[in-house]
């Protein structure tokens, strides 16, 4: 298990000798540690990335060579899947099955973008007989990418793969709560012989290493996935330098369940949308249900039964469906929101409290009914296994409720009427809309936020324009 920072093509010893200790959220045991990167390591990482960018090693690399390199990374991710998924489960808490899915998904991301290296086509724009105009996509330069703790492997891959295609060099700061598995990328980059300085990995706390990295003079772009509050601090820190930022932030995703919906499908989608994926610690979790009274009793009855039999337990037990929260602080956060929900007058149908399983960070899957759509638990991101149910009478009221929060990352709807589905999707303020299921996804599909859920897009060809900038080249033609 590698614990050092990966800079300029090798793992280096930290001059500070300071360590970040990693704790297993399932039992509070020590998983390991990583070296903390401070001023010297941060400078080395950005110096390496800057030199690699200025050398044009990525921009001038043959498209086929780059494609083959990225496919090798994908292949190596699959080789490390068994080892990596067990390590990630220990430090993050998710089920081994979900962690293996992250490695497989990360491999799919590199495979997909490997296929795009020779498909970025410049545009020729006609404007007269004696002119020649073309538009090209170029990189920003050095991209700082700050990765969240809930899906660290897939989101590392998502940002780095797109950057490699466009030509950015990268400095990555993995999450301090679960950094160990990210070091696997450094091992892979050495295995495939990626050019030195193209990707660098520095470990540390957000308040110290992350802040210093954002303020570094060599940064040309910041890519951040995380809370709206931290994103606001990043924007303030980069505003004077006019640094472009690519942000995927919080969410309060809602699903509208119309009277003609398939109840069984809606219930199954809810369980997999808010309780099973990482115990609800996911920015696109189905945290709000907006449902018509005609179908509500049947839906709530089925959902409550299925929720109360979900097995809560550690990620290394295959039968566990709801795994631990990432930290004691996160347990307290979710618990406090549940107290606020009860105080607001919402009906607690099930859950709402911690569950004692050894020393783990476990919380019961929770359902609140009869929720005021403007109340705290219906407006703020809880980031845990908590669902709020809200009634609506008219279609217009449902849209008003969906759009009532500051967020707009994802939403969904359940109806057998395609015309109504189209009408609804057009009116929801969110970057992703799912119809009759939750998590209808693929690496070739773009996603991103509206409002305080951020801006920029990840996934598909569209994401390349969030990692690069266009340049127009115009020429006046002369005849000798």
- Residues annotated as catalytic are 248, 283
Cα gap 20→206, rounded to integer Å: 12
Element (H, E) at 123: strand 123-124
3-state secondary structure of 308: helix
Cα gap 18→157, rounded to integer Å: 27
* 375 beta partners: none
Torsion 375-381-385-391 (CA) sign: positive
Measured from the Cβ of residue 300, the count of other Cβ atoms closer than 10 Å reads 18
Percent helix, strand, coil in the chain, to 5, is 40, 20, 40
Element (H, E) at 11: strand 10-12
Measured from the Cβ of residue 84, the count of other Cβ atoms closer than 10 Å reads 26
CA 466, 472, 475 angle in degrees (round to 5)? 165
Cα gap 80→108, rounded to integer Å: 14
Cα gap 356→14, rounded to integer Å: 38
Nearest to 269 by CA among 441, 440, 447: 440
Cα gap 381→406, rounded to integer Å: 10
- Contact in structure between 400 and 386 (CB atoms under 8 Å): no
Nearest to 463 by CA among 281, 225, 301, 287: 225
Q: Which pair of structure tokens corresponds to residue 86?
A: 């067990």
- Contact in structure between 297 and 263 (CB atoms under 8 Å): no
Nearest to 194 by CA among 69, 56, 46, 45: 69
DSSP secondary-structure letter at 121? -
CA distances from 287 to 226, 380, 440 (A): 17, 10, 17
Q: Which pair of structure tokens corresponds to residue 352?
A: 């709402």
Cα gap 195→267, rounded to integer Å: 49
């Amino acid at each position: 298990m590698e614990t050092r920072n990966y800079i300029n093509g090798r793992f280096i010893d930290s001059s500070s000798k300071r360590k970040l200790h990693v704790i297993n959220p399932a039992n509070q045991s020590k998983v390991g540690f990583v070296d903390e990167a401070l001023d010297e390591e941060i400078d080395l990482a950005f110096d390496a990335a800057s030199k690699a960018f200025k050398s044009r090693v990525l921009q001038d690399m043959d498209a086929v060579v780059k494609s083959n390199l990225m496919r090798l990374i994908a292949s190596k991710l699959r080789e490390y899947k068994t080892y990596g998924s067990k390590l990630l489960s220990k430090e993050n808490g998710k089920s081994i099955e979900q962690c293996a899915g992250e490695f497989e998904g990360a491999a799919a991301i590199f495979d997909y973008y490997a296929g795009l290296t020779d498909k970025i086509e410049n545009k020729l724009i006609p404007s007269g007989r004696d002119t020649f105009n073309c538009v090209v996509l170029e990189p920003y330069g050095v991209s700082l990418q700050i990765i969240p703790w809930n899906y660290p492997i897939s989101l590392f891959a998502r940002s780095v793969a797109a950057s490699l295609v466009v030509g950015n060099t990268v400095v990555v700061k993995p999450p301090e709560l679960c950094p160990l598995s990210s070091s696997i990328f450094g091992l892979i980059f050495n295995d495939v012989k990626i050019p030195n300085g193209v990707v660098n990995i520095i470990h540390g706390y957000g308040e110290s290493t992350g802040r210093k990295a954002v303020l570094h003079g060599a940064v040309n772009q910041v890519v951040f996935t995380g809370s709206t509050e931290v994103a606001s601090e990043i924007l303030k820190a980069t505003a004077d330098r006019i640094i472009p930022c690519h942000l995927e932030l919080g969410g309060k995703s809602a699903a509208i369940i119309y009277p003609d919906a398939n109840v069984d499908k809606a219930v199954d989608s809810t369980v997999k949308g808010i309780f099973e994926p990482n115990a609800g610690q996911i920015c696109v979790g189905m945290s709000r249900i907006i449902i018509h009274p005609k179908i509500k009793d049947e839906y709530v009855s089925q959902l409550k039964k299925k929720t109360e039999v979900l097995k809560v337990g550690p990620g290394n037990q295959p039968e566990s469906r709801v795994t631990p929260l990432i930290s004691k602080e996160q347990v307290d956060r979710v618990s406090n929101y549940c107290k606020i929900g009860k105080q607001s007058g919402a009906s607690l149908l099930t859950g709402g409290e911690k569950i004692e399983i050894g020393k783990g960070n476990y919380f019961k899957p929770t359902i609140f009914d009869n929720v005021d759509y403007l109340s705290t638990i219906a407006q703020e991101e809880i980031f845990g296994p908590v669902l709020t149910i809200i009634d609506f009478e008219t279609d217009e009221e449902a849209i008003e409720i969906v759009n009532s929060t500051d967020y707009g990352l994802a939403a969904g709807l359940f109806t057998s009427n395609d015309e109504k589905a189209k009408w609804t999707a057009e009116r929801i303020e969110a970057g992703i809309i799912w119809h009759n299921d939750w998590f209808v996804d693929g690496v070739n599909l773009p996603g991103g936020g509206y409002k305080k859920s951020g801006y920029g897009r990840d996934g598909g060809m569209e994401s390349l324009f969030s990692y690069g900038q266009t340049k127009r080249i115009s020429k006046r033609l002369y005849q000798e």
